[in-house]
Each structure stands twice: as C-alpha cells, then as structure tokens.
C-alpha cells in the first residue's frame, strides 16, 4: 500500500477518496492520435468512441463533448429551451444540471427526491407542470435508475422532452434498457471520478429522431462541417446556432482504451460496491446507518458508494472521525433550491427528502484500485465510530 503524508490532524492520509486508473494503453493511444495528425476534434478515436456507444447501448447518435455540462447544454438547445420556459428537475444534483437550462433563460422548478432513493420522485412531477413547462431533467444518482416508465408516460401526456443526466450512469440499466437511451437525450460524464474517464469529458446521446441531424450541426459550432467531411455537401458553412462542444481527439484516444477495458473495469468496481455493502450490512441491521436502496428496476453501476447517518450532526462527526484515520470520506451535493444563488427564486415548497440526503450522506473512497484490505479498514473505522 502506498502512503502520502500531509499535515492534517497529525495523521497519515492512507486512503484517497479517488485514484484514477490509467491503463498504459491510453497514453500510447494519445501519442498515436498526435502522431496521426488528428489531435483536433472529430478524429479517428472520436469516431471509434461514438461508434462503440451507439453499438453497445443503442443510442441513435452519440457525440463526445468536452464535459457533461456541455452535453446538457446541447440538450437544452436541441429541446428548444428559451426564455420563460420551465424545466422540472431534482434539487439534489450538481449545479450543471440547472445551469444548462438557466443560461437559456429557463426557469428551473425543483422537485423532491424519493424518500429512500436520491432520485426524483415521479409522483411529484405532474403537479409541477404548467403551460410553460418544456422539459423534465432526471438525474440517475450513483447510477441508480429513476422510474423511467412513469416519467416517460408523464412526458408523453404533456408533450415534454426528457433529458437524462446520466453523469453517474455509464453501463447502468433501467430494467433491460441502458440509461441515457430512454429519454430524448442523455448526458454522460467522463470526469476522472467516473468509471471511465479522460480527465474532463462527456457525451450526449441523441435518441430523438428529429434531432439527429441538427445535433451534429450544433456540436460543430453551428456548421455542417461533419457532413462536408463525409462528402455529403461540397462545402460547409454556418447553418444554425451552436458552439465548440467537441473535445480533442487526444482525449477520445485516452477514453477509447478504457472503453475496450470496460467489462473488466465494471466487474472490479461492482465487486467493490458489493463488498462495501456486505461488510456494512451488520451496522444497518443494528440501526446505526442506512445503506443504498436499489429498486427492483435498477442496477448497480459501481460509480460510488454512500450510506446515510441518522442526523446531520452525526454525519459531520463521522467525516471527522474517518478523516482522523486518513480516510478521505466526503459528503455530496448541497441542495440547489436553498443555495445562495437560488435564494428567493425557489417557490418555498419544502423538499424534506432532498434535505435529508444532503445532510446525512457519507461517500466512501471508491476507485478501481481500492484493495479489499482498505475496504475492511474503512468499514472497521465506521464501526468504531458507533462504539465511541
């Protein structure tokens, strides 16, 4: 086991929260990309990655982006979000989910989560719909699928777009359907904390038939450049709005090698998740904490592992306790509806389940190279906390 030293509570920092896994082949692929003259966007490796996602998960079109934030912004453009439109989403999410629509002039309407799962409560959505509602943005927290049958039925009744924020949800499923393939658009993250990554990166999955052609134009700064390079037009020009959403082909090269190793990566990460769950189960059985609840329609993606304490005060003491042993456990999202920016913009509805998750969640170290001995050490220290 490798250690690094920091002056922090006079302790050795023994277990990082995250350690990115770098296959050697990823670096060789970056070199090949540069040597091949396609280090700019939409090169050989970009096409290979996109083809991989389309073939494996059935996305109608997959387009790599520089981040999940960019993927969400593309979805907002494709959904035609404009000033005065309303978008319903959970408050328990990263700020990018909201910003993607706010920058288009939309009004964000926050819904509460389910009581046992930090996903949007579909039974609250319909009461929030008005004549100005344009879309529903759902977040598959920790790769745990939202109840997509209910959500898609609501969207169909009211003619709304559905955007899946699947930042946590690569290779995760709702029943037998890959997340990101069910809504009109799906947005993924390849940040270094995710199962597969390229440092910073993302992807939009376009499942809406009418948006397939336009998505490529928006992706290429509003031009039909991609069609030009396929020989479909004799010159390319500015034909729509757009931005520079596509990443360097060097990043795609790095990502592609991880895609080739995805089964191995997923097997290891899911095994880590299961070991945490099994070793912490006695503490839940004795009423000390609450482990993740996985609905019957959802799968485990091995993105992160969390548990809930019984109160906010207990959570803060738990984090301090674990940190004193060099364990980098952390909390997660602060509720967006009560954030400094949104003060005065929320309609005042209480979102108690959201607040409970935000106040009580503890995320434990989680990465590909996490050892069984490290998991047991972490679980041991969690257990010791309740004996203090």
In order of start, what are the domains of the chain with their CATH numbers?
A: 4-19+262-385 (3.90.1150.10), 24-260 (3.40.640.10)
The answer to whether 110 and 136 are in contact (CB under 8 A) is no
Question: In the predicted model, what is the mean pLDDT of residues 166-180?
Answer: 98
72: tokens are 């969400």
Apex 302 CA angle, 297 and 306, nearest 5: 90
Contacts of 145 by beta carbon, 8 Å cutoff, 6+ apart: 119, 169, 172, 173, 174, 179, 295, 297, 298, 299
Tell me which residue of 175, 220, 181, 227 sits closest to 204, measured CA to CA. Answer: 181
User: What pLDDT digit, counting tens, does each position of 269-311 carry?
Assistant: 999 999 999 999 999 999 999 999 999 999 999 999 999 999 9
Asked if pLDDT for residue 5 goes beyond 80, the answer is no
Q: Where are the alpha helices (DSSP H) in the chain?
A: 24-35, 44-57, 68-78, 95-102, 122-128, 148-158, 212-219, 225-229, 249-260, 262-285, 312-324, 352-360, 372-385
User: Rounded to an integer, what distance in angstroms lies between the CA atom of residue 172 and that of residue 195?
Assistant: 11
Longest distance between any two alpha carbons in the chain, whole Å: 74
Question: How much is the pLDDT for 41?
Answer: 83
With a pLDDT cut of 70, the percent of the chain lying above it is 96
99 — phi, psi (to 5°)? -60, -35
Asked if pLDDT for residue 154 goes beyond 90, the answer is yes
User: Rounded to an integer, what distance in angstroms lies between the CA atom of residue 57 and that of residue 277?
Assistant: 28
Secondary structure class of 298 (helix, strand, coil): strand
Question: How much is the pLDDT for 7?
Answer: 34
DSSP letter at 144 equals P
Asked if pLDDT for residue 10 goes beyond 50, the answer is no
With a pLDDT cut of 90, the percent of the chain lying above it is 86
Asked if pLDDT for residue 231 goes beyond 90, the answer is no
The residues with which 111 forms a beta bridge, in sequence order, are 90
pTM of the model: 0.94
Contacts of 372 by beta carbon, 8 Å cutoff, 6+ apart: 275
User: Rounded to an integer, what distance in angstroms lies between the CA atom of residue 161 and that of residue 150?
Assistant: 14
Is residue 133 within a helix (H) or strand (E), and if so which, with residue range?
A: strand 133-139
Query: Considering only 217-231, 325-339, 356-370, which range has the smallest mean pLDDT?
Result: 217-231
Question: In the predicted model, what is the mean pLDDT of residues 51-62?
Answer: 98
Instruction: Output 319 or 30, whichever has higher pLDDT.
Output: 319
User: Rounded to an integer, what distance in angstroms lies between the CA atom of residue 189 and that of residue 64?
Assistant: 10
Question: In the predicted model, what is the mean pLDDT of residues 11-35?
Answer: 82
User: Rounded to an integer, what distance in angstroms lies between the CA atom of residue 41 and that of residue 26?
Assistant: 17
Question: How much is the pLDDT for 388?
Answer: 66
Asked if pLDDT for residue 153 goes beyond 90, the answer is yes
Question: How much is the pLDDT for 39?
Answer: 86
Mean pLDDT of the chain: 94
User: Rounded to an integer, what distance in angstroms lies between the CA atom of residue 28 and that of residue 201?
Assistant: 19
Tell me which residue of 321, 320, 275 sits closest to 300, measured CA to CA. Answer: 275
């Amino acid at each position: 086991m490798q250690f690094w030293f920091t002056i922090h509570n006079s302790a050795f920092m023994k277990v990082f929260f995250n350690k990115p896994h770098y296959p050697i082949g990823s670096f060789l692929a970056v070199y090949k990309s540069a040597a091949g003259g396609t280090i700019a966007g939409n090169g050989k490796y970009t096409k290979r990655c996109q083809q991989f996602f389309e073939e494996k998960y059935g996305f109608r079109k997959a387009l790599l982006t520089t981040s999940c934030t960019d993927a969400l912004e593309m979805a907002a453009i494709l959904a035609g979000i404009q000033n005065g439109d309303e978008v319903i989403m959970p408050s328990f999410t990263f700020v990018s989910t909201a910003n993607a629509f706010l920058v288009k002039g939309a009004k964000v309407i926050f819904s509460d989560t389910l009581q046992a799962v930090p996903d949007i409560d579909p039974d609250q959505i319909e009461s929030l719909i008005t004549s100005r509602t344009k879309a529903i943005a759902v977040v598959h927290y920790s790769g745990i699928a939202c109840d997509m049958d209910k959500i898609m039925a609501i969207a169909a009744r009211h003619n709304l777009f559905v955007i899946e924020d699947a930042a946590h949800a690569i290779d995760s499923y709702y029943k037998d359907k890959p997340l990101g393939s069910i809504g009109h658009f799906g947005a993924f993250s390849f940040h270094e904390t995710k199962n597969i990554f390229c440092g910073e990166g993302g992807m939009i999955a376009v499942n809406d038939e009418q948006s397939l052609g336009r998505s490529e134009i928006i992706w290429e700064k509003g031009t039909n450049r991609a069609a030009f390079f396929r020989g479909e037009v004799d010159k390319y020009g500015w034909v729509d709005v757009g931005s520079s959403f596509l990443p360097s082909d060097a990043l795609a090269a790095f990502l592609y090698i991880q895609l080739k190793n995805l089964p191995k990566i997923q097997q290891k990460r899911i095994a880590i998740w299961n070991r945490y769950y099994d070793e912490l189960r006695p503490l839940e059985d004795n009423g000390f904490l609450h482990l993740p609840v996985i609905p019957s329609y959802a799968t485990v993606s091995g993105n992160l592992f969390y548990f809930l304490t019984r109160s906010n005060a207990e959570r803060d003491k738990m984090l301090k306790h674990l940190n004193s042993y060099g364990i980098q456990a952390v909390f997660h999202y602060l509720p967006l509806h009560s954030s400094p920016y949104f003060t005065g913009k929320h309609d005042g509805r209480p979102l108690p389940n959201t607040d409970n998750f935000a106040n009580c969640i503890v995320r434990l170290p989680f990465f590909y190279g996490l050892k069984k001995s490290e998991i047991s050490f972490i679980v041991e220290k969690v257990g010791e906390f309740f004996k203090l």
